[in-house]
Amino acid sequence: MSATFRIAGAGRLKQAKIAGFSFDGRPYTGIEGDTLASALLANGVHLVGRSFKYHRPRGFLSAGAEEPNALVEIKRDQARKTPNVRATVQELYDGLTAQSQNRWPSLAFDIGAVSSIASPMLSAGFYYKTFMWPKAAWKNLYEPKIRAAAGLGVAPDQPDPDHYSARFAHCEVLVLGGGAAGIAAALAAAETGARIILADEQAEFGGSLRFESGAKIEGQDGFSWAQSAVAKLSAMDNVRVLPRTTAFGYYAQNFVGLVERVSDHLQNPGRDLPRERLWQVRAKRVVLATGAIERHMVFADNDRPGIMLAAAARTYLNHYGVAVGRNVGVYTANDSAYAAAIDLKRAGINVAAIVDLRDNPTGPVIDEARALGIEVNFGRAVIRAGGKLRVSSMTVQPKNGGGERTMPVDAILMSAGWTPSVHLFSQSRGKVAFNDETKRFVPGIYAQDCVSVGACNGTDGLLATIDEAYAAGAKAAKDAGSKPAKGTKPKVDADESWSRGMLGAAPGAGADTTVKAFVDFQNDVTAKDIRQAVHEGMRSIEHVKRFTTNGMATDQGKTSNMHGLAIAAETLGKPIPQVGLTTFRAPYTPVTFGSIVGHARGPLFDPTRKTAIHPWAERQGAMFEDVGQWKRAWYFPKPGEDIHAAVDRECVTVRKTAGLFDASTLGKIEVVGPDAAKFMELLYTNPWEKLEPGRCRYGIMLREDGFIYDDGVVGRLAADRFHVTTTTGGAPRVMNHMEDYLQTEFPHLNVWLTSITEQWAVIAVQGPKSRDIIAPLVEGIDMSDEALPHMSVREGRICGVPTRLFRMSFSGERGFEVNVPADYGEAVWEALWAESQKHGACAYGTESMHVLRAEKGYIIVGQDTDGTVTPNDAGLDWAVGKKKTDFVGIRGMARPDLVAKGRKQLVGLKTRDPKVVLEEGAQVVADPKQAIPMKMIGHVTSSYWSQNCGRSIALGLVAGGRDRMGETLYVPMPDGVVELEVTGMVFFDEKGERLNG
């Protein structure tokens, strides 16, 4: 198709670069530099979408980010489909494929539009008043239908192949908005040498200079000046210029989030470019130059395709060289639409009439319009638009009633005035103030170090804007600590100025029941809906907004909020400021999840911690489990083995010969200093002063509230040095807990704490042959039972590298934990592995470690205890120093309920049927025959098949458990009741002889 609405000689695009694209499967051509919107308009296409509720046909309202109607799906390939893209923002590239949304089977014939017929029923909030009968029908019938009808585009269904990047930046002055105001501010600030960032959401800087044909600066037309000024800024080392970059969120302490659209406008972005880049900028000063957004007129059927904002039509003409129609009507309540009419007329477009709601406005633009022969009507309203898929006429009436006159038109340009974009200012927690004269909210009280300039500050006219912005830019740089520079303010040769307009429904939006005069296009909110909300008692604008959904669509009310507010205020009979303004919430325009997430996807979602021995385990085909950020070897299956077979073999092998276990993930903290023992006394329940250097002790750490926080074996290396181990997941928490007490409660203690988790790899060698495996490799440590008894530690060397060798056991067998510098971890493991193979030992993982410890009744903090278990509950009273007068938790654990009778206590549980393995988490009851809800007296914390015991074993927390030894209790499962006996916690080698076996 040829671009029939492209006007020769108009616009700034270079005709040479043609881009082919498709919309709803039909091929079109545009020009490079077009947006999808301008390219479609050039082809005479206005109908691009369907509305949310009534499925009304919709065209382009705007030429920018405020667009409520023209949302399309852009599809690069199957995996790169993006729903809800504004056609007015999407830049055209050769091969672009776009599809309309929310219609079936086609845009022109949409079955969903039957809801338009039912529309009298679908008034504001109708869904709160019906769909309640019968009860089950909401879930089964109504809601699914509503859900299917709602929603705009379709979510992608494949993982996104694109990537997103992120940058942090600091600057003295961040200028948001690259129109005349932003550029002037940036120029002034940049001259001081301060670090400046200038960002604008458009591909090209200039803002409203894109359409303001009357603006002349420094002897050039406004837009050309903007390009040369930005080129000058870009060339400066202290300035970063970011086009296609939207500041979406203004957070505390001048922290601003921006998204740069890096490659969505490119035909072949390639693999290297990110799709988007998140900028997180901390600025000393922020200059807000975010402009203003034109409002539409609220009148009957003001949503017909072809009806658009006047400045949008002007942009399409002056920037893109596209006429939005051949015979346009203009409906306005302020001057700025005249300029559009004049520009279009000059380009050879017929202007049917300007309909001006004002009674007797005067001014040069009005004179000029008349001089061009345009019919100008004052004090009249457009009360109705004709046409369905495209506007075909406008009906005009004196605003106070009278004869109607219908004129054929193929487009209506409208302007009710301009709304300052105070979104970011408001997000900065600044308070807006209502200017009653100009009927607009402008920045009032500032909460952060920022300043608003130009249209967003309610400043009218180019001359005043550049004056204000240039001064503000210089001041911002100065306030940020830069030396003032002598620069030259850009000279404005010809001004364009906007004037005030009107808010709310125009005459003709009427109280008439059948009229649809849209306030919020996308959400299909009409003036009538807002009045109805007020009649129903909604007096706060927040209630009106939520009840009608006005301003809650993807454009977030950029064109609708002020109209909605004014209609509500009028209906309430209250001044606008008393009804309030809804809060502006980030983001300013929708931001992709991808840009927020950046690189934190897949493996980079969270760091993965691997031990030094991990590569060895991987080579052995180990299965891994996630424990916190760690990957731990879970079990080492041999060919044909499942987890049960592997674990049975590993457990038996450990007790028969020996096993090697990678314990490197255990947290390790070195507590050093003259007061180290005193500190340990305060942080652990156990006594430490008398522990001999070279000996170890099992320690319990409580929180101040008396519940178990962590545990681990602690070795005293010297009088002033403890090697503390913690649980794998608990290490950072425990370190923080210790530092907290050391720094703030016990600062008088001379102690240093060092996390040494990563410093030492830990190889546990457990089993009767463990000493035989280790001994040949050790130098300088007497390995005899006398010299190195159970629960002792020695420093020496193994395989020629330093070691802290612990004699300790978490399996109940003779055992050692060999600490070696992590760099040598894998090598020492390999050496131990080679030795172990002489004895038929195995490698075992966390699952077998759990079984082996459970056979011995050793607890795992976090599994057998949760945050509600005291040392006494866990049967660990023996580890609490009875003579101690202070330790963290000493008072908490003495509270009435923590010493009360009947608390849950940790006990052993044996199923009557030894083959039945209880499920961890299963609940224990005394009477299995009781009705639901049952009285639960405990639960299973650990449960395994023990090949060594030849039966299942379990631990559990049971109310009064230690007084129930031998009692029969029950676990009611969905498929039957499991009978069990309460026992002691040790299932294997009760006398503990194997520790030295």
Partner 1 sequence: MKKYSVFAIAREAMRGHRGWEEQWSSPEPKKEYDVIIVGAGGHGLATAYYLATVHGITNVAVLEKGWLGGGNTGRNTTIIRSNYLYDESAGIYDHALKLWDGLSQELNYNVMYSPRGVMMLAHNIHDIQVLKRHVHANRLNGIDNEWLTPEQAKEFCPPLNISRDARYPVMGAALQRRGGTARHDAVAWGYARGASARGVHIIQNCEVTGVKRAPNGAVTGVETTRGFIGARKVGVVAAGHSSVIMNMAGVRMPLESYPLQALVSEPVKPVVPCVVMSNTVHAYISQSDKGELVIGAGTDQYVSYSQTGGLHILQHTLDAICEMFPIFTRMKMLRSWGGIVDVTPDRSPILAKTPVPGLYVNCGWGTGGFKATPGSGHVFAHTIARDEPHPINAPFTIERFRTGRLIDEAAAAAVAH
Partner 2 sequence: MLLIRCPYCEEERPELEFRNAGEAHIVRSPNIAGESDDDFEKFFFIRSNPKGIIYERWRHMHGCARFFNAVRDTVSDRFLMTYKAGEPKPTKLPGAAK
Query: Within positions 411 to 430, which residues make up the interface with partner 2, using CB under 8 A?
Result: 429
* Nearest CA-CA partner of 174 in 103, 80, 279: 279
Please pick, from the candidates 106, 540, 736, 968, the single residue that binds partner 2 as defined by CB under 8 A: 736
Binding to partner 1, residues 133-152 (CB under 8 A)? 133, 135, 138-139, 143, 146-148, 150-152
117 counts as binding partner 1 under rule CB under 8 A: no
Q: Which of 691-702 are b and which e, b meaning 16 or more Cβ less than 10 Å from the residue's Cβ?
A: beebbbbbbbbb
CB of 891 to partner 2, least distance (A): 5
CB of 256 to partner 2, least distance (A): 11
743 counts as binding partner 2 under rule CB under 8 A: yes
539 counts as binding partner 2 under rule CB under 8 A: no
Binding to partner 2, residues 95-154 (CB under 8 A)? none
**Smaller CB separation from partner 2, 479 or 705:** 705
539 counts as binding partner 1 under rule CB under 8 A: yes
693: Cβ contacts below 8 Å, ≥ 6 apart? 716, 717, 718, 719
Q: Which does 483 bind (CB under 5 to 8 A by kind): partner 1, partner 2, none?
A: none
Instruction: End-to-end CA distance of the chain: give it in Å, rounded.
Output: 91
Q: Which does 939 bind (CB under 5 to 8 A by kind): partner 2, partner 1, none?
A: partner 1
Binding to partner 1, residues 273-302 (CB under 8 A)? 280
Confirm if 96 and 81 have CB atoms less than 8 A apart: no
Please pick, from the candidates 346, 491, 585, 895, the single residue that binds partner 2 as defined by CB under 8 A: 895
**Smaller CB separation from partner 2, 182 or 257:** 257
How many chain residues touch partner 1 (CB under 8 A)?
126
SS (H, E, C) 762-800: EEEEECCCHHHHHHHHEECCCCCCCCCCCCEEEEEEECC
Collapsed DSSP state (helix, strand, coil) of residue 92: coil
693 counts as binding partner 2 under rule CB under 8 A: no
Q: Which of 83-105 are b and which e, b meaning 16 or more Cβ less than 10 Å from the residue's Cβ?
A: bbbbbbbbbbbeebbbbbbbbee
* Nearest CA-CA partner of 395 in 360, 451, 432, 352: 352
**Cα distance between residue 926 and residue 924, in whole Å:** 7
Return the structure tokens found at 843: 């490698």
Q: Which does 573 bind (CB under 5 to 8 A by kind): partner 1, partner 2, none?
A: none
Q: Which span sits near partner 2 by CB under 8 A: 121-129, 178-186, 742-750, 919-927?
A: 742-750
Binding to partner 1, residues 726-755 (CB under 8 A)? 726-730, 733
CB of 861 to partner 1, least distance (A): 5
891 counts as binding partner 1 under rule CB under 8 A: no
Compose the 386-425 pattern: x for residues touching partner 1 by CB under 8 A, - for all others: ----------------------------------------
Q: Which span sits near partner 1 by CB under 8 A: 122-130, 230-238, 670-678, 741-749?
A: 122-130
**Smaller CB separation from partner 1, 608 or 996:** 608
**Cα distance between residue 549 and residue 572, in whole Å:** 18
255 counts as binding partner 1 under rule CB under 8 A: yes
What size, in residues, is the chain? 997
Please tell me what DSSP assigns to residue 845.
Answer: -
| Axis crossing angle, helix 364-371 with helix 336-346, rounded to the nearest 10 | 30
Q: Which span sits near partner 1 by CB under 8 A: 24-32, 177-185, 594-602, 796-804?
A: 594-602
* Nearest CA-CA partner of 76 in 164, 1, 158, 17: 158
Q: Which does 150 bind (CB under 5 to 8 A by kind): partner 1, partner 2, none?
A: partner 1
CB of 123 to partner 1, least distance (A): 5
Q: Which span sits near partner 2 by CB under 8 A: 60-68, 892-900, 906-914, 921-929?
A: 892-900
CB of 588 to partner 1, least distance (A): 11
Please pick, from the candidates 886, 900, 901, 921, the single residue that binds partner 2 as defined by CB under 8 A: 886
**Cα distance between residue 422 and residue 445, in whole Å:** 12
* Nearest CA-CA partner of 851 in 991, 661, 697: 661
Compose the 443-462 pattern: x for residues touching partner 2 by CB under 8 A, - for all others: ----x---------------
889 counts as binding partner 1 under rule CB under 8 A: no
* Nearest CA-CA partner of 970 in 899, 933, 918: 918
704 counts as binding partner 2 under rule CB under 8 A: yes
Helix (H) or strand (E) holding 138: none
* Nearest CA-CA partner of 561 in 596, 592, 522: 522
How many chain residues touch partner 2 (CB under 8 A)?
25
**Smaller CB separation from partner 1, 393 or 942:** 942
**Cα distance between residue 307 and residue 303, in whole Å:** 6
744 counts as binding partner 2 under rule CB under 8 A: yes
**Smaller CB separation from partner 1, 605 or 752:** 605
Q: DSSP assignment of 630-641, as one string?
A: EEEEEE-PPTT-
**Smaller CB separation from partner 1, 770 or 943:** 943
Residue with tokens 């010969």: 657
Collapsed DSSP state (helix, strand, coil) of residue 316: helix
Binding to partner 2, residues 770-799 (CB under 8 A)? none
Binding to partner 1, residues 318-377 (CB under 8 A)? none
* Nearest CA-CA partner of 296 in 557, 116, 107: 557
445 counts as binding partner 1 under rule CB under 8 A: no
* Nearest CA-CA partner of 213 in 344, 322, 34: 344
Collapsed DSSP state (helix, strand, coil) of residue 837: helix
Cα 418 to the chain's mean position, in Å?
32
Contacting positions for partner 2 (CB under 8 A): 251-253, 255, 280, 282, 429, 447, 704-705, 736, 739-740, 743-745, 747, 885-886, 890-892, 894-896
